[in-house]
Amino acid sequence: MADAGAQRTTKENMDRNNRRQAGTESSGLKRVPRRLAAVMMLAGLAVCFCPQAHATDYFISSSQGSDSNSGLTESASWETFANVNSLVLTPGDSVLLRRGDVWNQELRLQGDGTAGNLIELGAYGTGDSPVIQRTDLQNDLCVVLENPSGWRVSDLHCRNAKLGLYLRYVEDVGNEDVEIGNCQFEDMSDPVTDPHQHDTEFAWSAGIWIGGRVSGANESQTVLSNLSIHDCTFRDCRQGIGTDWYWPARYKARLTNVMISDCTSTGATNGCLALNCIEGGYARRVRSLDGGGYFEYGTCAGFAASVKDFVIEDCEFASMRREAPYDGVAFDFEGDCDNVSFRDNVIHDNDGSGLMVMNFWAGNPQNNNISIADNVFYNNALNHDGRPATEVELLCWNADSNGVLSNNGIYARSGVPHMGANWENFTQTGNRLSAYSDVSTRATHWGFDTDGDLEGWHGFDAWSTPAVSGGVLAGTSTGNASTYSPDTWINTHEFPYALIRMKQTQGTTATLAFVTEVDSTWDSAKSVTFPIVADGNMRLYALDMRDLSTRWTGVVTGLRFYATDASGSNMEIAYINAGVAPLPGIDSDEDGLTEEQETMDLDPVTPGIQNPFDPDEEDSTGDSFSDEPDGIPDGQNDWDGDGMTNAEEFAWGFNPIDPLSFATLPLPWPLAVLGLFAVGVARTVRKKRNA
């Protein structure tokens, strides 16, 4: 039965693919319009009579430009990077690449901005992010910034190179304020890791690399302070974000105040984070998934070495493979780390241990005051390297590291010890050691498909005659009607949404409360209240829980649903589901559909793969079963003619080639939830490996 209406409760999110139009916004930070900027500049002159350089915008379009143009307007854009590569940029300047265009060239820029007047590298126009696509994985670079200070980089898509974005500091210290946001990096996958091939400036292939050369007195100086990296995606990169210098003495404050947030890496050999020589900052809401493979020294989903006063929190490190002799570990402390906090993270389904503490280099100092708290580890050591010491959930190689190990949930598969030896210098309190089999079969969705089966929901309060019949959980409210779920196991990174389809006849709000593996106390802080429409029609409510509640972290182990705040409502609940997160950055043809969606079998009954979409073509179909391109990206078409676009059908769990599989959506649903599967069951985008 189609929904008569739908309600989506979340904060308003900007469409990041179209934020920078005609030079007004970029990277989620407000950019002052040129006319207003001019007025503000004149006002400043009137007050202080200080001279100020005129900022210049440079426009580049591979499809519409010419290098004989001025490059100063969209209609007079340059074609290649040759002209801009020869400039020294000044505060307030912008280098803007036309959206939808592609270059096979290295963009190498220089110049310094200031904290209040950044130099910007970004995009203009509408459509997909501009693409820099190289061909030589071993030697090509996409973007190089020479000794950058006072820069903002946004809305770029870099492919097929040794490095995507290289912040290159050569004997240059005291730099400040670099921001990188909303960029995509893929296929930085050169397996060679020899720094001598690159003047000892870098060895790993990476999406973003911060390094260069320092020597002499510069070895003990800060190269860059205030580095922000946010909302970036990395696909099939050897590393997502890497920092290091070869081979001066290690110095923790070479980078200070490094802030990394809301980034996702898939398919990385050594994960999203390779943190070296950093003092101060954090990594938050980072997902490092489905990586690994072969590396002679071992693989991991992230690591830290020579890092001080740093926080790694609310991250996910999962499904790291081991094809080499060693590791496949989720996260490594590799030595010389001081006062680092590893907290509120979810670590699961890795070939190696969930966490490893070690001293990697000969003579490298131990790790001091490492706090490992409020994390959930489960189903790790799936394919350990054969050494008995590595077949554990938590591994500590060296007894000289020290710190605190507290309030962690550690759920080991059968036959795998929870902890190995050498943890004696860690103060251990409140850790829960359990079997993964105790939680692995817990439900994350409830469809109420069987008459009489409450599916474990219990503790009904102000809820008269609760019963399941005809595919719904029904009853009549006698107040603020509520019920408790059975024990559940909801990884909040994998399942950031709550999806509730229900009908109400009275009330204005509903509330979803929850408890987590590390915090089992019911309180108002762990709840989300949202408006409902009590018109007697079945409606779908999609709650972005991580957006609406800062406490939707770790693993949720129980729900309490307050279905309405009023008496006398005839209530029907069709399902309560945990909704899976989209994996961004896997849409090579940028048509609004992921590669997975464009290659999956949409009709398993019919022999062969039934899917009309082409993952390499932005426009491969039309509407109403037309396989002729019509000038519209495939995601915006309606293949089966049922009134929902193909992207909407995938997003909400319907089938885009079945005209009987649809919902009535009266609101202009944004495509930010692309990848959300919400019908009947919430399916994970990754196959779980058996415990």
Instruction: Quickly list DSSP for 666-691.
Output: -S---GGGTT---SSS---SSPPPP-
682 contacts 580 by C-beta, under 8 angstroms: yes
Integer angstrom CA distances of residue 107 from 103, 153, 387, 624: 9, 13, 46, 43
State how far Cα 176 lies from the chain centre: 25
How much is the average pLDDT of 358-381? 88
Q: Which of the pair, 430 or 543, is modelled with greater confidence?
A: 430
pLDDT at 32 over 80: no
Higher pLDDT, 586 or 500: 500
549: phi then psi, degrees, rounded to nearest 5 = -140, 125
The residue behind tokens 């926080």 is: 311
The whole-angstrom separation of Cα 465 and Cα 510 is 19
Tens digit of pLDDT for each residue in 431-452?
Answer: 999 999 999 999 999 999 999 9
Do residues 281 and 304 make contact, with C-beta atoms less than 8 angstroms apart? no
CA distances (Å), origin 494, targets 286, 315, 529: 12, 11, 22
Answer whether 499's CB lies under 8 Å from 540's CB. yes
Most confident of 39-53, 92-106, 188-202, 570-584: 92-106
Q: Is the pLDDT of residue 206 over 70?
A: yes
Provide DSSP, 584-615: -S--TT-SSS-HHHHHS-S-TTSSS------T
Residue whose entry in the numeric block shows the structure tokens 């030589």: 136
Phi-psi region at 113: left, alpha or beta (left = phi > 0; alpha = psi -120 to 50): beta
Rg (CA), the chain: 26
Quote the percentage of the chain above a pLDDT of 70: 84
Structure-block tokens of residue 36: 């207003």
Kindly indicate the confidence band of residue 316, based on its pLDDT and cuts at 50, 70 and 90. very high
Going from the C-alpha of 299 to that of each of 348, 366, 370, the distances in angstroms are 15, 21, 22
497, 545 contact by CB (below 8 A): yes
193: number of Cβ within 10 Å: 16
The secondary element (H helix, E strand) that includes residue 41 is: helix 34-48
The confidence band for 46, taking pLDDT boundaries of 50, 70 and 90, is: very low
Instruction: Name the DSSP class of 269.
Output: T
The CA-atom distances, in angstroms, between 217 and each of 171, 590, 680 are 10, 47, 63
- Cβ contact 271:301 at 8 Å: yes
- Compare 453 and 499 and report the one with higher pLDDT: 453
The answer to whether residue 668 scores a pLDDT higher than 70 is: no
State residue 560's pLDDT score: 98
Instruction: List C-alpha distances in Å: 79 to 59, 110, 142, 157.
Output: 9, 19, 16, 18
Each domain of the chain, given as residue ranges in start order, spans 441-579
Q: Give pLDDT, residue 35.
A: 33
CB of 18 closer than 8 Å to CB of 128: no
The answer to whether 261 and 290 are in contact (CB under 8 A) is no
- Asked if residue 399 lies in contact with residue 369, where contact means CB atoms within 8 angstroms, the answer is no
pLDDT tens sequence across 251-292: 999 999 999 999 999 999 888 999 999 999 999 999 999 988
State the pLDDT at residue 609.
67
Question: In Å, how far are 22, 516, 620, 674 from 592, measured between CA atoms?
Answer: 23, 34, 12, 8
Q: How far apart are CA 278 and CA 241, in angstroms?
A: 13
The residues, any chain, with a CB within 8 Å of residue 77's CB and separated by 6 or more, are 59, 60, 61, 64, 65, 66, 69, 71, 98
CATH number of 441-579: 2.60.120.260
CB 437 within 8 A of CB 670: no
Burial class (CB in 10 A: 0-12, 13-18, 19+), 398: middle
User: What is the model's pLDDT at position 294?
Assistant: 75
- In whole angstroms, what is the distance from residue 286 CA to residue 337 CA? 20
Least confident range from 73-82, 156-165, 287-296, 572-581: namely 287-296
Task: Tell me: pLDDT of 674 over 60.
Answer: no
Across the range 320-332, mean pLDDT stands at: 82
- Tell me how far apart the alpha carbons of residues 549 and 559 are, in angstroms, rounded to a whole number: 14
Query: What would the two tokens of residue 130 be?
Result: 């501009």
Length of the chain in terms of residues written: 691
Which whole-number Å values give the CA distances from 418 to 176, 334, 404, 433, in the listed order?
43, 21, 16, 7
Q: pLDDT tens for residues 508-521? A: 999 999 999 999 99
Give CA–CA dist 456/473, Å, rounded.
Answer: 12
96-110, 150-164, 479-493, 669-683: lowest mean pLDDT where?
669-683
Q: What is the pLDDT at residue 592?
A: 86
Strands 445-446 and 567-579, by their bridges, are: antiparallel
Residue corresponding to tokens 């590393």: 239
DSSP 310-321: EEEES-EEE---
* Helix/strand/coil for 527: strand
Instruction: Note the pLDDT of residue 394.
Output: 95
